[in-house]
Amino acid sequence: MTDTMSHSDQQHSVDPRDPRSLRVKGSNPSRSIALAGVLLPLLLAILWEAAIRSGWAVGRLMPPPSTIGATLWELAKSGELQLHCLATLGRVLAGFALGALFGTMIGAAAGALVVVRRLIDPTLQALRAVPSIAWVPLFILWMGIFETSKVALIAVGVFFPVYLGVAGAIEGIDRKLIEVGQVFRLSRWAMIRRVMLPAVLPAWIIALRSGLGLGFMFVVAAEFMGASEGLGFLLVDGQQMGKPAQILASIITFAVLGKLADGVLVMVSKPLLLWQDTARGAL
C-alpha cells in the first residue's frame, strides 16, 4: 500500500535525468511569430516606395525607403555614420554606467534602511518629476557645453528608473526566504550575497533595461544642447539643412542602436535568470 503511495506525487513527471523533458516545446512557432513583427513596417515601407515610384506622391518631406537607404549608405561609406554612432554610444554608456551605479547604490540603501528612505525618497521623487530638458540650461551653466554636461544629463535619466527598481525590489524581498537564511545562521554579508542579491536580480535587470532606454532618450536631449558629432547632431543638422532623409536615417539608426544595446543587456543577463518561473516559455 505504501509502495503505490510513494509514487503518487510523481505520476505526471517525465524522465528526471532529462532536464529538457519538462520544457515547453515549440520554438519554431514562436520564431515565426517574431518574424511577424517585421511584417508591418516592411509592408508600409514597400507601399510608400511604390506610391512614390508610381508618381502618386512626391515624398519631398517624407523620402522613400530607397532614398533613406542611400543616405545611410553614403554616411556609412564616408565613415560619418560610424563616427556619430560611436559618439552617441560613448555618451550613453558613460551616462548609463554612472546612473546605474548611483541608482543601484542609493536604491539599495533606500530599500534596506527605512531612515535613508524617509530622508531621501521625497526629494528624489520631486526631482524625478522634472522634465529632462529642464536640466539642460542648468547643466550647461554648471558644466559647460562639452561632454561633462551631456554625460551628466544622461546619467540623471538612467538614475531614476534604476533607483526606483532597486529600492522597490529590496523592499519587496520575501521575508520567508530571509528566514530560511536566518535558520541557517547566515552572516549579514552571506545573507546579502546568497539570498538578497539573487532575489533582487530579475528586478534589477529590468530596472537597468528601462534605465538604458531612458539613456537613449536623454542622449538626444543632450546632443541638442550643441554637439558637433553624434546622432542627435545629425538630427539637428538634417533639420537645419533641410535634409529629411538624414533625419530619418538617424532615427532609424537610433532605433537599431537602442534595440541592439537592449539585446546585449538581455543576452548578458539571460544565464543569470534561467531559474525564473515565468510564463514567457508558455506564451
Partner 1 sequence: MLRLSGLSKTYADGTEALRDISLQVGKGDILALVGGSGCGKTTLLRLIAGLDIPSSGAITVNGETIKGPHPSIGIVFQEPRLLPWLTVAGNVGFGLAGLPPQERQARILHALEKVGLAGYDQRWPRELSGGQQQRVAIARAFVTEPKVLLLDEPFSALDAFTRASLHDHLLLLWAETKPTVVMVTHDVEEAITLADRVVVMRPRPGRMMETISVTLDRPRDRLALGFDKAKRRILHALDRSLQPEKAAPTQKGADNASHWW
Q: Using CB under 8 A, which residues numbered 21 to 60 contact partner 1?
A: 22
- Tell me, what DSSP letter sits at residue 77? H
276 binds partner 1 (CB under 8 A): yes
Name the grid cell of 61.
518631406
Comparison of 3 and 241: residue with beta carbon closer to partner 1: 3
280 binds partner 1 (CB under 8 A): no
* Contact pick of 86, 113, 138, 177 for partner 1 (by CB under 8 A): 177
51 vs 69: CA distance, rounded Å? 17
Q: 154 vs 53, 161, 181, 259, CA distance in Å?
A: 41, 12, 38, 17
270 vs 275: CA distance, rounded Å? 10
283 binds partner 1 (CB under 8 A): no
64 vs 57: CA distance, rounded Å? 10
**Of 195, 206, 171, 176, residue with least CA distance to 280:** 206
80 binds partner 1 (CB under 8 A): no
* Contact pick of 5, 34, 115, 279 for partner 1 (by CB under 8 A): 5
9 binds partner 1 (CB under 8 A): yes
Contact 253/79 with Cβ under 8 angstroms?
Answer: no
Comparison of 42 and 190: residue with beta carbon closer to partner 1: 190
* Piece of the chain touching partner 1 by CB under 8 A; list 63-71, 110-118, 137-145, 271-279: 271-279
By CB under 8 A, name the binding residues for partner 1. 2, 5-10, 12-13, 16-17, 19, 22, 176-177, 179-180, 182-185, 190, 194-195, 198-199, 201, 274-277
